[in-house]
Amino acid sequence: MTITSFNPPQRVLMGPGPSDVHPRVLSATARPTIGHLDPTFVGMMDEVKELLRYAFQTKNTLTMPVSGPGSAGMETCFVNLIEAGDTVVVCQNGVFGGRMKENVERIGATAIMVMDDWGSAIDLDKVRDALKSAGNVKALAFVHAETSTGVQSDAKGLCALAQEFGALSIVDAVTSLAGTPVMVDEWGADAVYSGTQKCLSCTPGISPLTLSDKAVEVVRNRKTKCPSWFMDLSLVMGYWENASGGARSYHHTAPVNALYALHESLVMLKAEGLENSWARHTKNHLALRAGLEAMGLGLMVNEADRLPQLNAVTLPEGIDEAAVRKSLLTNYDLEIGAGLGALAGKVWRIGLMGQSSDAAHVVLCLSALDGTLSAMNAPIKSGVAVAAAQKVLFG
């Protein structure tokens, strides 16, 4: 077998991530690689931190990108803030709350679970009851935007509960950052992590992270060493910070070219403006919803809890959902996502994230679904979806 250069097809990415990457961001990765301790690169690092503070809406000093995807950001939070013997209240209303539980238990801490139905927002009353009965709780962990279901929970209310009971808050904002308001300082959130491949529309592989001063003190005053050397913030901070004015200490070789890409995507976000990015994601969601409903399809999540950038779409009766996704990919180079866990085979997950959230993507998706489902004799109303979406998009 002869192996040659890999040239991927040009896809339209409308699944749960990654999203389409703008040519400006892709071209940034091709810039000359320099050393990760090069003074010029160090200057760019400071710009990345400042731009991330804007994205997170925070003044936190410890705001930085973790070398690794969103899951690395999650693990960084848990291994630094939680120790064996601690108690953590973990909210689960989809796949990713379960991953938080896994992190807690692998550390040797106790996870007290607050369970809600997949497709429902986290119930604040249940969380209050759990915090009240648990006693000394180290942290409250929850997913702001549950990618497996398209649900957005009340992060501000949950962070307030954590503060009321003297607990840290650990927040998964992987799918929400830049697509829907993430207000770290306003919420009083202590540890928030995200991912570059969703609404930031950057290449996958980096996890933006921000920690409050309170959380940083917890890191500095651990009773035991962080169980992960690579993710030990007490070490990594020596590279990403130089508060004393001295040289930055070497920890690991940073993903230099990937950080160029993150820098470019954050520059583009700042130029658009956060509020404009949030509004764009919402408008395109409403247009997609209008088209789906005109076709006879629905969204699983109730309107108040829907995440604009991730839409869990119910299936028409008698249709093989995997066959539809395969047809979309084969005939239109269009990727949408399948359901996960309890929702496998029951929904499609259609993403409208970052560069994938625009009018052209909405129209293409609806047109492709209409044609594909009609060809399969699905019980839908054909020929009306695009017009319904365009009414929202263009008036």
pLDDT for res 251: 86
Strand, helix or coil at 301? coil
What is the model's pLDDT at position 36? 87
CA distances from 337 to 15, 282, 326 (A): 4, 20, 10
Residue 220 · residue 232 · CB < 8 Å: no
Strand partners, 65: 208
For residue 247, what pLDDT is reported? 65
Q: What is the pLDDT of residue 164?
A: 98
Of 374, 356, 395, which is closest to residue 179 (Cα–Cα)? 356
For the question of whether the overall pTM of this predicted structure is more than 0.75, the answer is yes
pLDDT score recorded for residue 395: 87
- Enumerate residue ranges in the chain where pLDDT < 50: 244
What confidence score (pLDDT) does residue 246 get?
55
Cβ pair 354, 201 in contact under 8 A = yes
Please tell me the distance from the alpha carbon of residue 200 to that of residue 182, in angstroms, as a whole number.
13
Render pLDDT for 64-88 as a digit per residue (tens, 0 to 9): 999 999 999 999 999 999 999 999 9
Domains identified in the chain and CATH numbers: 22-271 (3.40.640.10), 274-394 (3.90.1150.10)
Torsional sign, CA 69, 71, 77, 79: negative
